[in-house]
Structure 1
Amino acid sequence: MKRALEQDTLHLVEHDGSEQTIASNAPIENHAAAGVNWTNLRLNDLESDHVNQRIQCLLSIARQISLFTVEQQKDIIEIIIQRLDKERDGDAKSMMILLIEKCSRYPNVNALVVLTYLLKENRQILQEPNNMRLVSTLYENLISDLSNSHHKVRAISISLLSLLPFIFSSNTTMTEMSVQKIVSNYARDSDPRVRKSALDALVQMHQRGCPLDLAIYNLSVASLRDDYEEVRMGGLNLMGVLSSLYPEHRMKLAHEEVNETTRLIDDAFNKVCDLVNDSAITVRTKACVMMASYQHVGPDMLSQTFSKQIMSHLKRRLPRYKAQQKKYANGQIPVAEGDIDVESDEFHILDSGACGSFIHGLEDEFQEVRNAAIDSICELCMYNEQLTKKAVEFLVDMFNDDIDKIRLNAIQSLRKIGTKSTLEFDEEQLEIAVGALEDNDPLARQATHELFTVVRLTVPVSLTTLLDALEANTKRYPMDVLSIYRCLRDVGKRHDDYVETLVPDLLKLDKRYLPKEANVEDIMYTAYVILIVNASSSNVKMLHHLPKYIFRHFAYFKSKYPDCIPDLRKLYKVAGIKLEGDVDCLPMTFSASAKKLVAADAESYMTATIDMLQVIKTQVERNELATALLTIDVATRNFKYITSLKPLLVGKSELAQLHLQCYQIVIKVKQSHSSSTYASTAQLAAASLLKHSYTMQHTYLGLSKDTLQAAMYLRILANVVWIFGILKQLPISSDTSFNVKNMLLAFHQRVKLIQQQFNLRDDHTLGKLELNLSSAIELPTTTKMSLLHSFITVSLLDICLDNPVKRTTADIVLPQANPDKPYKFASKYPVKLHLEVDVFNCSDTNQLAVEFILPDQSSFMLWPASGHFKQTTPYCFKLSTSVELTLSPWTEPGVVIIRIVQSFEPDLPGLDEYIMKYPNHSVPSSNSGPKIATSCVISEHLKYRLHPSTTSSNFAMNKKRSF
């Protein structure tokens, strides 16, 4: 294989002359990588004779690989592939392969061609005559080593022998079947470690594509009765392979008196079930896990797993004459007719291994076995609906398990089964299930709510029991209200016949009196309305018997809980109901054609509003500052209105509003230049510009390169404004020049950093600014400082709104704000809070944190573990975590502010953090928590009220009660 490099693409040329493209440098839409400075990578070090230099160069490439442009991506994969042939160091070669793997994720790289190339280039053994003679010698030595007295030599020889047929498939001496036969013989070795190695080698041969001989099945059966658990584990693996290869093979029953056959998969399942009673916990767990893979076992055999008695269809009775012959042959005396023969003439078709195997698994003393049994039951029920009824009975009993993970697994498994076939709960099972609503674990309670959405109750009185349990749940755990509403939504759809009879009691209706309108803020009334309206979607006749005021409530709850209320207009249309007067207060909807008109109107409105940005820029350049502020107000209102017309444009609209805020700040700085308050105004403006710049860069996805450059220019502008704000308030002294020089040096460092990051060394404005800075650093005279101040008059760079921009946001679901009911806690103990947050449009959850601003105004930052984030959709996550707050003692109710922040690394950490904290340069932080990072707020502030209680008062109350 040789390579050919053309102008736009990199090709691999095969031996037959065909070309396959590896990478292309064609532009990619919405690719906004800034690129890196090619000289900083020191790619020449890859040709160095020193391994350390080559590795350091590869590390530098790995750190900056995400910043490469399309052209740089194409060039770097070409360089690495060319160098891979020449590299001899193992560590460096491994790093190159990892880099090629990262590069293959680029959309302009053909990953399949790269993989094919790596497989061909890295084959180390060549099919040459000399090598084949060497391998034949190796084979002969391995055969002789199999007779070695040491078990390790035999075990390793077996593992190596099983690999040879796949590497040298053309060798007639080492065929797959001959090697398989040799390996099988050592599965009966005297040493258990050799037997285990032989069984594992057979499984590995199957995984490499070797068809295993059916005769090996008897070997796997014998291995299950081995005295050593490692061998029994290997036998289980081999049996699982064979039962998947030959499931329908008919094998004769072991009983000599019956000439019947059974399927291999049924016999294997029976053997696996028998190991559920094994003495070793690992074998029992493995057996329970493997049972899930036998989805195609006969239904009779599966039913036997939930019964400890052998079913009649698995028994056979010997013919009477054969039974008598058997007794005579054994020397037994026949009994007279009419007397009782205590010996049975029945026998079992198969071993009794499957008899009650799941019951034994669920009753096991180790939680690992019980967990595996629950998982297997769930998996088998997904493929065999006739097993569901028996499974429900035993899984519901697991709700009372001592281990919380077992309880949660049982609840979730039942819910999964319910998505396949409807579950039916009788009164006893419901009583057990609602007990899970008292669990302290919020995951268990939420899983129970989800379970009830797939359950059908067998008797009407059970629905009342369920509603009472959910009401107690809302009182004990108010944070579960939304989950309960979603539960009742589906409960109503499944139980419309039961709900119809309960409507008068739920709404407290009496035919003798006019109905009294209920309070829509009442939690349980809301729950009942959600239950009734969803039941009405299945039984529209119910709507005709409801009081009129409830239709207004339907519309109110539709706007408040849109996912819990069905489409009301469709519901009323089906029921033939026409609302009149003030009752018709449904939210406005549009037809399909009207929606298209609105979308087109929003796009045209967006284009016209974006054009206003150029008008604002022109007004600022002409120094028409007052007019520009009015235009900014109009444009801001337009962008907000666009958001209501088309939610898909929210990201663009918010980015444009942020840009307009920066314009407002710059205009105010220009207007206050000659005022006495310029020092404070300038520092506040610099802090705001820096914050907006970092917010623009780090909380928006899909930004173009032009927008990122505009954000960088904002930082330069903020630095200039801050310097002159500081100079305005500096006293005239000998140390002034020293302070000014330090500020200019930091400013110069920022400009160089931005030039390197965006490769803007040819930019005229930045080049002129750098020259002025270098001159002012040497001697900061008034003339030189005036040249720097002229940068404030430079207009802001334009932002690009062509990309589909999305903003990173977060919604705090739990805890909920409690302005009226403060959370009471003992002041000497930490406060434990459970947090649930919905995160949207986030590319890296490692940068997200939860910030707590305590009543004493100190801050505490919680960094959730990556496992606490559960991805819901691409770039969207659900955070579920807990925190313990150690608070300083106080006696009055206080407020803890909770917010979600996204951290980032500033360009100049010390200086930027100082500027952005103005006017609070010294904000106290919690000593117990980690260091407060620089961050952007991406959620609304949640105010959670706390009320400490002293232990002395509690002690006095307890003492009084004791008397």
Structure 2
Amino acid sequence: MCDDAFARVCDLVNDVSMPVRALAAGLLGDFHSVNPQLLEQTLDKKLMSHLKGVKSDHERQKEKHAAGGGASGFDSGRTWGSSVPKLDMDVEDRSLMSAGACGAFVHGLEDEYLEVRSAAVTSMCQLGTNSLSFAAQCVDFLVDMFNDEIQTVRLSAINSLRQVSATVQLRGDQMETVLGVLEETSAEIREAMHSLLSTCQITTVPGLRTTVHNLLDNLKKYSSDRESIWRCLQKLGDHHSHLVSCLVPELLNSHPFLMGKEPDVDDPAYVCILILVLNAAALCPTIPPLLPSHVFRHYTYLRDALPHLIPHIAVGVPSNSVSKLGLHTDHAVAHGFMQQVFCRAQATRPPSSPSLPSPCSLAHRHQVLATCVSDLVRVGNLDDQLSDRANCAATFLQCQLLGEEISQALSEDLLLLPSDGRLGPAHSEKSIRELTILSYRLETLCRGLGAELVGRVKIARLAANAMQLLLAVQLDVDTEKSKEFMDMKLKFQQRLNALTRCFAGGNLALPQVVKPLDDIDYVTIATDSLVESLQPLIAAPLYPSLCPSDLVAVRMARATIHEPQNFSQDEHTRFVYSLALSIPVQATLYNVARPTDVAVQLRFPDGRRLFFTPKPSDIRSLGLHEDRLDTSVVTSHGLWTDPCQVELCVGMRVHTDVPETTRISHTPANKHTVSSIPRSNSNGVGSHSEDSMDPGHCFLAISDVVKINIFPQETASRSFNVFGGP
């Protein structure tokens, strides 16, 4: 039944209607239980010339490869039996009309409409993943589709071949076509090719040599592909360690007894070679004795700078299994160290009952928490597998530290005495805003937190709002007449109501410290009653003890910026002031739940900020929990006398519980008022260093800051491009 349905659908690939052909070509990939012989007939293609059978180019190259011939070079002589005369065929034995499944995919791949060709490529990939014999036969056809005139079809063919390339081997003539795609101008095509090469099975040393040289040429022509090429070479070293061992002297340009010039470790091409060689050396014990002495010094540096690309190498240990064990040992050491950090933080936690003795002083606990935060950040930088959990735990402990410091300052009334390292009013309000932002980071950027932890984070944000109210009261703000103070109380009431609904919707019990607040109307409450009702919330421990088991499923949103890169002091981009400057931005997004919320922030030296929202077409998916951002930031500025640094980072626009638009102003005369944060101008540039988004959103950075130098000038000289050329 399945074979009959498959044959009938194959007949529809030759239908006169394009939508019917596209639908039929797409349906072919759903038949996973077809007879293998019937499936292979879809790739059957007969060529005739003067009533004689002619072999296709695929068949000739396959026979040449099976006979030991290469894709290029001199032939060793005439193949046995090549001069045998071809007999005329009987025209009755050959049918030129397609019957059933014969040639269905051939017709689909040669169709004039891209919808049909793209659907045929996708179906071939689906069927090839379930049948090894069919995958080996469809490689020739997928490689031919690399020359298609439509980029989407070429990209689909590359991704399809990547999914089946792990089970087949590419011939030399096929590798030539594959490597030729690295000359593409499309960054998306080149990145897909890097992913394909990282999974390919290369069978010969010349093939690997050609692949490495083509990747180095790609890096020289397109420097923005650096990260993608590095990952590709890492996989090539892992999968072809025995072939890399034959190329070590050539790649490193080493001599048996002469010492050459030591390469620059900052050279991206040299780093590519080291990534390939060192990943192969971790699996091949014959490579380390071939390495020059300077490679081991560079290995130490790269191991610290690029831990996700450089493996651990047990130098001098001949056992291959011991070298592999080093990778697991490093991860085990990092995991054990993170467990110790959790134990240190837990050991200083104050008792649940005030009558019980405290294990240490509050100052010592704050010092321990600060050390734990720095240790967790370091673990996240060194181990990719623990990065999300370590960074989430560091943010969690930092919230604890800030909340306890502000609570101590408010309870001891130290705000007006900012001496001996104590919190002053300006610092205290800044810490409250930072605590609010950190709570949003925990709630929105950390995916996989339990419902109880998310509820505690919301309570911490409510406590930060309460701290802001108490701070305004302690600074003698006119609480009865200030409209902004009334807005602060209204926002506290709104946040409290939202918190109550959140706990009720999740079937969670409202904590005892929050239950009494639910019966109070904070909009009309008197100031004395306000302070009295908020004191228990400030003094209570807001966070439960954090265990490593709570963070097993946590994935934290982050981004890596590939372009632009940090400028040196002497590099700067010039443009005519008041004209547009375009800055290309390329980044990889990890664990971003809603890529449409991604934004790019540009901060000028005077504190003004610009926010740019990429178009949906600028973000494309690379796989599970991974996306690529490829956009441009267009900005302008007035005349400058000297070049200055502009900070660029990628972040997310997240919704806030209530509009965060109020702050406490400070004057030298100790006169404190509550004012509104200035709103942004129509062009998106705020007049202060505060967040210039609308009050219902805030910007959370998920990448490191990249500093670039720009120089708006009065007139353009002939030595640079007015639209951003160097």
Indicate whether the TM-score tops 0.5.
yes
Cross-structure match for 1:285: 22
Are the structure 2 counterparts of residues 380 and 823 from structure 1 closer, same or farther at C-alpha, using a change threshold of 3 Å? farther
1:581-730 matches, within 5 Å, as 603=339, 606-607=342-343, 609-614=345-350, 628-638=362-372, 640-641=374-375, 647=386, 648=389, 651-669=392-410, 670-675=412-417, 680=426, 683-700=429-446, 701-702=449-450, 704=452, 707-708=456-457, 710-724=459-473, 727-728=476-477
Cross-structure match for 1:216: none
Are the structure 2 counterparts of residues 454 and 746 from structure 1 closer, same or farther at C-alpha, using a change threshold of 3 Å? closer
Cross-structure match for 2:657: 906
Cross-structure match for 1:922: 678
Cross-structure match for 1:528: 273
Secondary structure in 1 matching 2:350: helix
Cross-structure match for 2:601: 851
Query: Structure 1: how far apart are the matches of 2:282 and 2:317?
Result: 9
Are the structure 2 counterparts of residues 605 and 617 from structure 1 closer, same or farther at C-alpha, using a change threshold of 3 Å? farther
Are the structure 2 counterparts of residues 529 and 665 from structure 1 closer, same or farther at C-alpha, using a change threshold of 3 Å? same
Are the structure 2 counterparts of residues 545 and 688 from structure 1 closer, same or farther at C-alpha, using a change threshold of 3 Å? closer
Query: Structure 1: how far apart are the matches of 2:327 and 2:208?
Result: 35
For 1:530, the aligned partner's letter is: I
For 1:720, the aligned partner's letter is: L
Any conservation in 2 of the 1:418–1:454 contact (CA below 8 Å)?
yes
Any conservation in 2 of the 1:893–1:948 contact (CA below 8 Å)?
yes
Unaligned runs of 5+ residues in structure 1 are 1-241, 248-263, 314-340, 579-585, 959-963
Query: Structure 2: how far apart are the matches of 1:703 and 1:853?
Result: 35
Any conservation in 1 of the 2:166–2:201 contact (CA below 8 Å)?
no
Deviation, structure 1 residue 409 = 1.2
Q: Relative contact order: is structure 1 or structure 2 higher (C-alpha 8 Å, sep ≥ 6)?
A: 2
Cross-structure match for 1:347: 93
Secondary structure in 1 matching 2:588: strand
Partner deviation per Cα, 1:683-708 (whole Å, 9 max, x = no partner): 44543454445445545522527724
For 1:660, the aligned partner's letter is: L
TM-score (norm 1): 0.56
- Structure holding more helix per residue: 1
Any conservation in 1 of the 2:13–2:25 contact (CA below 8 Å)?
yes
Are the structure 2 counterparts of residues 595 and 751 from structure 1 closer, same or farther at C-alpha, using a change threshold of 3 Å? closer
Alignment root-mean-square deviation, CA: 5.1
Query: Structure 2: how far apart are the matches of 1:762 and 1:546?
Result: 62
Which is further off, 279-288 or 922-931?
922-931
Query: Structure 1: how far apart are the matches of 2:24 and 2:618?
Result: 29
Query: Structure 2: how far apart are the matches of 1:746 and 1:566?
Result: 51
1:419 pairs with one of 153, 162, 166? 166
Deviation, structure 1 residue 830 = 5.5
Task: Indicate yes or no: 2:566 matched with 1:818.
Answer: yes
Secondary structure in 1 matching 2:540: coil
1:448 pairs with one of 183, 193, 204? 193
Secondary structure in 1 matching 2:543: coil
1:543-554 matches, within 5 Å, as 543-554=288-299
Deviation, structure 1 residue 445 = 0.7
Secondary structure in 1 matching 2:185: coil
Cross-structure match for 2:584: 833
Query: Structure 1: how far apart are the matches of 2:223 and 2:565?
Result: 11
Query: Structure 1: how far apart are the matches of 2:39 and 2:431?
Result: 78
Deviation, structure 1 residue 635 = 3.4
Cross-structure match for 1:165: none
Any conservation in 2 of the 1:825–1:831 contact (CA below 8 Å)?
no
Query: Structure 2: how far apart are the matches of 1:901 and 1:913?
Result: 26
For 2:650, the aligned partner's letter is: R
Task: Indicate yes or no: 2:142 matched with 1:395.
Answer: yes
Query: Structure 2: how far apart are the matches of 1:941 and 1:311?
Result: 66
Any conservation in 2 of the 1:720–1:791 contact (CA below 8 Å)?
no
Query: Structure 1: how far apart are the matches of 2:88 and 2:277?
Result: 63
For 1:346, the aligned partner's letter is: E
Query: Structure 1: how far apart are the matches of 2:557 and 2:43?
Result: 53
The count of corresponding residues between Structure 1 and Structure 2 is 643
Query: Structure 1: how far apart are the matches of 2:22 and 2:517?
Result: 73
Any conservation in 1 of the 2:651–2:702 contact (CA below 8 Å)?
yes
Secondary structure in 2 matching 1:727: coil
Any conservation in 2 of the 1:814–1:836 contact (CA below 8 Å)?
yes
Partner deviation per Cα, 1:675-727 (whole Å, 9 max, x = no partner): 49965456445434544454455455225277246415513422323432663
Deviation, structure 1 residue 484 = 1.2
Cross-structure match for 1:126: none
Query: Structure 2: how far apart are the matches of 1:765 and 1:457?
Result: 64
Query: Structure 2: how far apart are the matches of 1:928 and 1:786?
Result: 37
Query: Structure 2: how far apart are the matches of 1:537 and 1:277?
Result: 53
Deviation, structure 1 residue 740 = 6.3
Cross-structure match for 2:706: 943
For 1:296, the aligned partner's letter is: N
Cross-structure match for 1:878: 627
Query: Structure 1: how far apart are the matches of 2:720 and 2:702?
Result: 42
For 1:815, the aligned partner's letter is: E
Secondary structure in 1 matching 2:558: strand
Cross-structure match for 2:152: 405
Who wins on radius of gyration, i.e. which is larger? 1
Any conservation in 1 of the 2:493–2:521 contact (CA below 8 Å)?
no
Task: Indicate yes or no: 2:539 matched with 1:795.
Answer: yes
Deviation, structure 1 residue 395 = 2.8
Are the structure 2 counterparts of residues 822 and 736 from structure 1 closer, same or farther at C-alpha, using a change threshold of 3 Å? same
Cross-structure match for 2:80: none
Are the structure 2 counterparts of residues 886 and 539 from structure 1 closer, same or farther at C-alpha, using a change threshold of 3 Å? same
Any conservation in 1 of the 2:414–2:424 contact (CA below 8 Å)?
yes
2:259 pairs with one of 514, 518, 522? 514
Unaligned runs of 5+ residues in structure 2 are 55-86, 381-385, 667-672, 686-691, 722-726
Query: Structure 2: how far apart are the matches of 1:956 and 1:537?
Result: 48
Query: Structure 2: how far apart are the matches of 1:538 and 1:785?
Result: 70
Are the structure 2 counterparts of residues 571 and 287 from structure 1 closer, same or farther at C-alpha, using a change threshold of 3 Å? farther
Query: Structure 2: how far apart are the matches of 1:611 and 1:298?
Result: 68
1:307-346 matches, within 5 Å, as 307-309=46-48, 344=90, 346=92
Query: Structure 2: how far apart are the matches of 1:774 and 1:931?
Result: 27
Cross-structure match for 2:81: none
Query: Structure 1: how far apart are the matches of 2:361 and 2:89?
Result: 109
Partner deviation per Cα, 1:756-802 (whole Å, 9 max, x = no partner): 6657999688748976967755xx6xxx4795598389513341125
Deviation, structure 1 residue 503 = 2.8
1:481 pairs with one of 202, 226, 229? 226
Secondary structure in 2 matching 1:408: helix
Any conservation in 1 of the 2:117–2:153 contact (CA below 8 Å)?
yes
TM-score (norm 2): 0.72
Are the structure 2 counterparts of residues 284 and 911 from structure 1 closer, same or farther at C-alpha, using a change threshold of 3 Å? same
Cross-structure match for 1:365: 112
Any conservation in 2 of the 1:684–1:919 contact (CA below 8 Å)?
no
Secondary structure in 1 matching 2:565: coil
Deviation, structure 1 residue 886 = 3.8
